[in-house]
Structure 1
Amino acid sequence: MNRFARHRRLTAAALTVLTVAAGATACSSGSGTADTKGADSGTYTIWDPYPQFDKTSAWAKLLDDCGTKAGVKIKRTAFDTSDLANKALLAAQQDNSADVLIVDNPVVSTLAEAGVLTTTDDNKLDTSKVDPNLLAAGQSGGKTYGTPIGANTLALYYNKKVLKDAGVDVSSVKDWKSLTAALAKVEKAGKKGITFSAIGTEEGSFQFLPWFWGSGAKLTELDSPEGASALKLWTDWLKEGYAPNSVLNNTQTTSWQEFASGDYAFAENGTWQLAGVKKLGFDYGVLPIPGASGGNAAAPTGGEFVTVPVQGDTGRYATSQKLVSCLTSSENLYDTDATLSYVAPTSEVQDKQVAANAELKPWVDAVKAAKGRTSDDLGTKYPKISEQLWKAVQSALSGSKSPEDALTAAQDAVK
């Protein structure tokens, strides 16, 4: 593609809503300053969404180590997650892309369709060990545009004491009916059932998707009977008092604070809470989100992809490939994913994680059942679908529309 053609496509892509990444993967906020690539070809630039890690961190040291192994120096810049996507688009317009770009997985298809990223056929990255359901988040139009560095997803945390006092055996929770029965017992015992985030942003869609997909619904058909059954489940929980009205405004952080009070039986939240859950002062467990009729529902995957942007000097790709291969090697994935509270994207490293920490087993199970938000070749269609989905959730939970009418309006808006 010539530079003019790429510039023209990028201009259109820059108008795409890139907020799908914000809030869904629990990366800390921060800011970075874009540095232009030095004239020295021995310096390679890496942009990442981890401003919480400074130059003394294990993450920064890993980048430097991989640079040393590849025989180059690393210039690293960290950005806020949502800011990074826009910076990447702008840099590509200016033919000044980073050599390696680590970006939230829903943004990969947007950048790929804009002509910003090379394919794994071009850059020779080996993705053969990556779990297919995780790799799918970085695929568009039958091509793969990078490799995941790790994954997080959603599951149900539960308070063991609240369930015990209510006479609930958590092993009985296998589907929606048994979960709702457990919530009824908890409410009758004077405690609170379940908290989650249904806010009118991507976080709300992110948290609703396990129930939507767990019903058998598809994002290409928001108004299906299956989708309506998922929204009715949430609506009924509010009507019965099993979930609080605060879910309408809850972020994943505020719903977690509700669970931290010790009054709730369940909280839908993510892998990123593992570091803090042991500080809550009560015994907890983790349960994969059940599907409507049983089994584990597909929860959306969070986490980043390591990608190689298009360069004017294609001779840089060989070294970029070495850097990415180093960052995503089995040895480094184990250490990196421990730092990021991620489940590894390969079964080999997942087994190693569980062997070292048995508490990760339900999270590995949840990740194995997980699904990328842009999978099924939705690509840049996803942001529009997601916006209508969270609006439908808000309408139904607030009582302004029935679940069926809310989802019908959502599907009409997407068309």
Structure 2
Amino acid sequence: MMKKSFATLTSVLLGSVVVLSACGSGDSSTGTPAPGGTPSGGASGEKVTVTLAGWTSSADEKELLQQTLNEFEKKNPNIKVNYEVIADQYMDVMKTRLIGGNGPDVFYLDAFEAPGLIQTGVVEPLDGYVTADFDTADFEQPLLAAFQTGGKTYGFPKDFSTLAMFYNKKDFKEAGITNPPKTWEELQDAAKKLTKSENGKVVRYGFGAAPEIARQMYMMKAFGGQVSDDKGSATFASPEALKGLQLVTDMHNVEKTSGEPKEVGAGWTGEMFGQGKASIVFEGNWAIPFLQTNYKDLEYGTAELPTVNGKKGTMAFPVAYVMNKDSKQKDASWKLLSYLTGKEGMKTWTSKGFALPTRKSVAAELGYDKDPLRAAIVAGASYATPWVDKATLPTIMNNFNNQFIEAYSGKAKLEDAMKKAQDTANKEISAAK
């Protein structure tokens, strides 16, 4: 999956709409009541249908998921999986269908959307279904925690990516840099050496940045800052949060060694990197197939992100399988969900590297923890900040992004811009209560 920015991630993942039939109703069931209370079919040999809804990024990815589902059906001949692709406005479609009572039995849920949807009561808690052989300790805990709230687990992560540092080996060699920077201070120094100008104009930035909150949460956290408080009110303008954000804006406005994609005619930092207009970018697993397809001759490597304030950090973007609370086939739905997020199903699904496994054992078995390009991405999962917060995050994101770009571009002081964004976000949050 390719993630250009949080906003463009949605469009890349979701594509164009498919008209879907109503699902989740299932056949009348005669089986044993599932932990959620509703009986599920299949116990007496009756074949039942479980609907699964999600998005897809490519034909190859869709084919790989179908292979995984076929393997599940062979092992569970009494369960038929009806896989539906919602290719446009995924969450809008899902919310409408779930609230209307005709949602799918099992569906994808992005961490960013999880708190808000869980709050509506349409997602089934899964703790009562889990058995000892499911091995929840095998999941990378920050990725699992993204779908836990109030002491309950509402989803199990199917795949993820963190951000890693992509660096141009040729540029590094020409600048006399032997190793990728390990601290923010080393990144600043490297970016100065890597930035290239012609006729007074920057033609290659040392560092290509994405000035948005989805990429900056861990920077704020490094100094003790938080996006919001326990009540969901925005707090990203605190002195602690500003310390992390200042590092990002200073590289652009003071050191002149960082630029964003639009400054060099690129659409996102992965493209900026591929075109040779940035020597270092922070990107995820989705950038690897993009670069392999579009920039075959590019010599690059990856490394974990540099430490900030002496602390390791990165962002994680997990997606989970969750169950519809109104599903009529809860037992069969759990069998599907637990297979897809279990070791066997996850191994098939992540076998080609389109997505990365959230289970440590599967990542090791497939060799991703030692892969030259993906090892750094996998390593970050254990300490990453997931792209999730309170249910107010969408409101916070919109206001943060609107003002942070003003500060990054030098049109406003960082403190003033973030204070304005925070105040506006909190007014909107209060009005929505």
Relative to the length of structure 2, the TM-score reads 0.80
| Structure number with higher helix proportion | 1
- Name the CA distance, whole Å, in 2 between partners of 1:196 and 1:385: 20
Q: Does 1:143 align with 2:156?
A: no
Deviations 1:36-81 (A, max 9, x none): 237546221110111634897121121233234232111111113x
Q: Does 1:131 align with 2:143?
A: no
Identity %: 22
- Name the CA distance, whole Å, in 2 between partners of 1:248 and 1:262: 13
Partners of 2:237 and 2:418 within 8 A in 1: yes
1:59 to 56, 65, 68: 65
Show the 5 A alignment for 1:3-402.
23=9, 26-27=12-13, 29-37=15-23, 40=27, 42-50=48-56, 52-53=58-59, 57-70=63-76, 71-80=78-87, 83-124=89-130, 126=134, 127-171=136-180, 173-187=181-195, 191-198=204-211, 204-220=212-228, 221-239=235-253, 240-244=255-259, 246-247=261-262, 253-279=267-293, 280=295, 281-299=297-315, 301-311=316-326, 313=328, 316-339=329-352, 341-352=354-365, 353-354=367-368, 357-374=371-388, 378-402=389-413
Partners of 1:194 and 1:264 within 8 A in 2: yes
Partners of 1:211 and 1:291 within 8 A in 2: no
Q: Would the alpha carbon gap of residues 28 and 194 (structure 1) be closer, same or farther in structure 2, given more than 3 Å must change?
A: farther
- Name the CA distance, whole Å, in 1 between partners of 2:19 and 2:69: 18
- Name the CA distance, whole Å, in 2 between partners of 1:45 and 1:263: 45
- Name the CA distance, whole Å, in 1 between partners of 2:243 and 2:262: 19
Residue in 2 that maps onto 1:13: none
Give the gaps of 5 or more residues in structure 1: 1-18, 199-203
Relative to the length of structure 1, the TM-score reads 0.83
- Name the CA distance, whole Å, in 1 between partners of 2:152 and 2:292: 41
Partners of 1:298 and 1:366 within 8 A in 2: yes
Deviations 1:349-371 (A, max 9, x none): 12223367343211111222212
Deviations 1:236-286 (A, max 9, x none): 2222331235457988x5322221122421012211111133352122111
Q: Which moved more, 1:328-337 or 1:181-190?
A: 181-190
Q: Would the alpha carbon gap of residues 51 and 350 (structure 1) be closer, same or farther in structure 2, given more than 3 Å must change?
A: closer
- Name the CA distance, whole Å, in 1 between partners of 2:189 and 2:137: 43
Q: Residue type of the partner of 2:177?
A: V
Partners of 1:59 and 1:336 within 8 A in 2: yes
- Name the CA distance, whole Å, in 2 between partners of 1:177 and 1:124: 45
Partners of 1:231 and 1:396 within 8 A in 2: no
Q: Residue type of the partner of 1:354?
A: Y
- How big is the shift at 1:289? 1.8
Residue in 2 that maps onto 1:6: none
- Name the CA distance, whole Å, in 1 between partners of 2:290 and 2:75: 35
Q: Residue type of the partner of 1:404?
A: E
Deviations 1:119-170 (A, max 9, x none): 0134447434222211111122222101000111212200011011111232
Give the gaps of 5 or more residues in structure 2: 29-47, 199-203, 229-234, 427-433
- Name the CA distance, whole Å, in 2 between partners of 1:181 and 1:286: 18
- How big is the shift at 1:325? 1.2
Q: Would the alpha carbon gap of residues 187 and 39 (structure 1) be closer, same or farther in structure 2, given more than 3 Å must change?
A: closer
- How big is the shift at 1:183? 0.7
Kindly report the root-mean-square deviation, in angstroms, between the aligned alpha carbons of the 2 structures: 2.8
Q: Would the alpha carbon gap of residues 216 and 286 (structure 1) be closer, same or farther in structure 2, given more than 3 Å must change?
A: farther
Q: Would the alpha carbon gap of residues 97 and 20 (structure 1) be closer, same or farther in structure 2, given more than 3 Å must change?
A: farther
- SS state at 1:349 partner: helix
Q: Would the alpha carbon gap of residues 246 and 72 (structure 1) be closer, same or farther in structure 2, given more than 3 Å must change?
A: closer
Q: Would the alpha carbon gap of residues 205 and 164 (structure 1) be closer, same or farther in structure 2, given more than 3 Å must change?
A: same
Q: Residue type of the partner of 1:105?
A: A
Q: Would the alpha carbon gap of residues 102 and 324 (structure 1) be closer, same or farther in structure 2, given more than 3 Å must change?
A: same
- Name the CA distance, whole Å, in 1 between partners of 2:223 and 2:197: 29
- How big is the shift at 1:329? 1.8
Residue in 2 that maps onto 1:14: none
Partners of 1:212 and 1:230 within 8 A in 2: yes
Q: Would the alpha carbon gap of residues 382 and 355 (structure 1) be closer, same or farther in structure 2, given more than 3 Å must change?
A: closer
Partners of 2:369 and 2:375 within 8 A in 1: no
Partners of 1:102 and 1:307 within 8 A in 2: yes
